[in-house]
Amino acid sequence: MQVKFFTELKKFSPDKMVKINLFETNNLFCDVYCLEPQQSQKLHTHHDADKIYFVLEGIGHFYVGEEKQTLGVGNTVLAPAGLQHGVENLSEERLVLLVVMSPNPNVKNKA
């Protein structure tokens, strides 16, 4: 069994958001994103993968398609494949997110 404790792995950079990989398989990947105040993940699209953001600490401003919502600890956001999405930390506190994508966009389709 693989077990990791995000509280021991999380780290921040004054320059940009930090991504820490927790798990990666052919089917999915799972990261922790750490954002200092005023940092963001710019808007982007994954055409063949869904993404889930789960707020572990702080408050984030989430963008999915044409929608925007501010969410805090315990909230989950789905960014379906094909929709532009991203997150900003506009608060004065750190933001920590659990992020899961499936299928794993880093694995090439072996059809």
CATH code: domain 17-64+76-102 is 2.60.120.10
Give the contacts of 36 (CB within 8 A, at least 6 positions apart). Answer: 12, 13, 14, 17, 89, 94
DSSP SS3 for 44: strand
In single-letter form, the type of residue at position 16 comes to K
pLDDT in tens, 41-87: 999 999 999 999 999 999 999 999 999 999 999 999 999 999 999 99
The rounded distance, in Å, linking the Cα atoms of 67 and 10 is 28
106 vs 57, more confident: 57
Chain-centre distance of CA 71, in angstroms? 13
Domain residue spans of the chain: 17-64+76-102
